[in-house]
Structure 1
């Protein structure tokens, strides 16, 4: 019995069961993706604070492009899910092909630019000569890894939306194991090799990303040759399809890209507080990566289920699933908030940092736990429900207005003008979440977020073959 038949009963328990089956491999894959950066930080962190800061600066810079790529994957997954709801396989191939074209060009330009402008980019975040020297080779290697990462991200989002979530998980598990082993060998110089430190971490990450991409492509080719044929799907695309696709797709890319840029800008402001502040931010980013890997997996699973239903025009069922998802999200948010608050002192002990830095780290982690429930609600509402329901323009406006007109100005004022402490600045960054939740709740209740994007793009109600 497939997922749709099980869920036709509209029972909450059934929904949780199916959601869990879809979400589990996605969560595992997200956790592993996050762990690639975390393992770098943990293993390099045993060397010293400058190494942690160097890795942190590069990861914060790379996160901007990562958000663009994740937005690309998210948009691809949304359209694939809706097309899959009506089994429009030709439009799925077109969607994946266009996503690859956009992602391939963007990742190539980003990688070349990051390599050529490595030092100017690093100097935006830090003026510490030791940190800049350590980060030079690392940023170049990590920038190169964005090319295979983009390929993996697009295919992972697409393949999950057609009920093959285990493929990305297997590829990511293999990449994590490979990255960990290579980190140990290259960072510390095992088996007679010279210790490479931060550079070794970069090499390990690049090799792991390439391996992840190749494994995923081989598994997809074996499992579904039609999906793999998306590489040549560009030949099927006509101007009408591409124009409508771009109109619907660009708000997702713009939203995630500018949201990531705003986050990076906030880190640039915080970097003015010194190397210690960057160390704390790096630790917080690692923890946040784990937490949002979990809720991100749940949001992706919610998006698949709701996207399938919206694609079929099942508006009432989509609303029921949305309500179920919010209840589950709130419960998970409470659990995570309590767990982070309690474990914050132990997390700080994992890193080789000074006592003063440790105290600030614990305080920041505990303060960060306070708005987690609201953050989770916002994430699942925007990404898992409204965006998968086709409400891409509203989500873009809400995300950008709150981030750029609330978070960025408050962080700038807190650091540059008011000279506040790092824990206080972290709390200022959370103000936007409490503003955003009010608008999201009203939008959810209005049902205006339910839009069938695939009808507009493929024109299937009129003449799908003419597109």
Structure 2
């Protein structure tokens, strides 16, 4: 018993700390962009926020497509089947590349019309369209980097990606300082400097990741010749499990975009406030996302080894730790909300509303943490993707979105009240998810039963 607990703690520290830090640093790109353009005005913050919605949507689609192979790789790693892992790594890279290129094409030819649901302000539309056009190639770089990172994570390699992300983030921060405000002989580019800085740093992250994979970690190094030789039966098994995840993540990402449309009904200032809450919320949630990914690897490996009881114990331990973290972080965010808001230099009349939004977020943080741990770390690692899809989509499209549009579009309530209605999605998701977690019906050995 003591040995099992020590093994859990050792592996948790080995995986969760690098993964959590990697997610925190990765989420800091948008946080730093928003903070460094804050002094340029609410329009610049809003433009970064609208552009961020499309990056978030792409991220959700990629998460759906790439998570399925990642789940299988974790379970194959439990059996040390490196041949299958290599094939799945190829599938993730080619899928990420194809999806991101298509996404960039749609944004390029659809601009600026794709941004009109968020605002009718013509200047804001122009600013957003130019911002996205500069950093669009960064979407492709991020997609391929994410594919390699998920493959590495599935075989327990996490520290290197964390270090490379830190390097990229440092470059992004430095280039923001140089290009936004004009230093070291460069012209001041304003909000467009933030886009250029993000593009360059993401390209660096892709380059360094590729060098690492092909020089040191050839287990997931993808050959251009491997795709035609992929195992069709393996693809069929993966797609059967992945299809609900794709639908789940894509429609949830679209639902999150619809929330921004609802918030946009209250004007550009409301979008700026929501952007502040989103970058802070994403930064806070990034930590638990890394923790949930650790759970996915560790629980998936136990299921692959057919240790069902141990997998359940792991799920219970991750849940308890998540609850403690949520209470501590939520209390800290609730208390420090006035100080956090001041970093973004928003006008005094919006200051009080922004504080209320952050405090509402802090109160429902425990639901957010539990949903991440259960859906990403527990249910998905056990192949329970059909249930996860139904849980997420019903809470988003049947609860949160209707209430947000009712509050913003019909009742014209203040933005902090609309945000509270938006938060009902996480609450309802956690209540329903608790039953599934306790039922133990989420465990499925994919590599033997799919």
1:131 to 115, 124, 130: 124
Q: Which residue of structure 2 lines up, in the alignment, with residue 9 of structure 1?
A: 3
- Give the Cα separation in 1 of the matches to 2:323 and 2:231: 43
Q: Which residue of structure 2 lines up, in the alignment, with residue 463 of structure 1?
A: none
1:367 aligns with 2:325: no
Secondary structure class of the residue paired with 2:40: coil
- Give the Cα separation in 1 of the matches to 2:113 and 2:155: 43
- Give the Cα separation in 2 of the matches to 1:97 and 1:284: 37
2:44 to 41, 51, 63: 51
1:80 aligns with 2:73: yes
Per-residue CA distance 1:167-210 (angstroms, 9 max, x = gap) = 21111111101111111111111122211111111111111111
Q: Which residue of structure 2 lines up, in the alignment, with residue 175 of structure 1?
A: 168
Per-residue CA distance 1:17-53 (angstroms, 9 max, x = gap) = 4212211111111111111111111111121111111
Tell me by how many angstroms 1:389 deviates: 1.1
1:140 to 101, 111, 133: 133
Tell me, yes or no, if the aligned pair for 1:84 and 1:161 is still in contact at 8 Å: yes
Q: Which residue of structure 2 lines up, in the alignment, with residue 242 of structure 1?
A: 235
- Give the Cα separation in 1 of the matches to 2:151 and 2:190: 36
Per-residue CA distance 1:73-101 (angstroms, 9 max, x = gap) = 43332121111000111111121222222
Name stretches of at least 5 consecutive residues in structure 1 with no aligned partner: 1-6, 458-467
Name stretches of at least 5 consecutive residues in structure 2 with no aligned partner: none
Change (3 A) 1:212 1:362: same
- Give the Cα separation in 2 of the matches to 1:138 and 1:220: 31
- Give the Cα separation in 2 of the matches to 1:418 and 1:121: 26
1:294 to 277, 281, 287: 287
Q: Which residue of structure 1 lines up, in the alignment, with residue 111 of structure 2?
A: 118
1:34 aligns with 2:27: yes
- Give the Cα separation in 1 of the matches to 2:438 and 2:349: 47
1:93 aligns with 2:67: no
Per-residue CA distance 1:215-264 (angstroms, 9 max, x = gap) = 11111222222321465432431332222221111211111111010010
1:415 to 382, 387, 408: 408
Per-residue CA distance 1:346-404 (angstroms, 9 max, x = gap) = 11110121101111111110111111112111110111111111111111111111111
2:398 to 391, 399, 405: 405
Q: Which residue of structure 1 lines up, in the alignment, with residue 101 of structure 2?
A: 108
Tell me by how many angstroms 1:437 deviates: 2.1
Aligned pairs for 1:346-385 within 5 A: 346-385=339-378
Aligned residues: 450
- Give the Cα separation in 2 of the matches to 1:293 and 1:73: 18
Moved over 6 A (4+): none
- Give the Cα separation in 2 of the matches to 1:231 and 1:177: 32
TM-score of the superposition, structure 1-length normalised? 0.93
Secondary structure class of the residue paired with 2:189: coil
Moved more, 448-457 or 211-220: 448-457
1:272 aligns with 2:265: yes
Per-residue CA distance 1:319-356 (angstroms, 9 max, x = gap) = 11011111001000101110110111011110121101
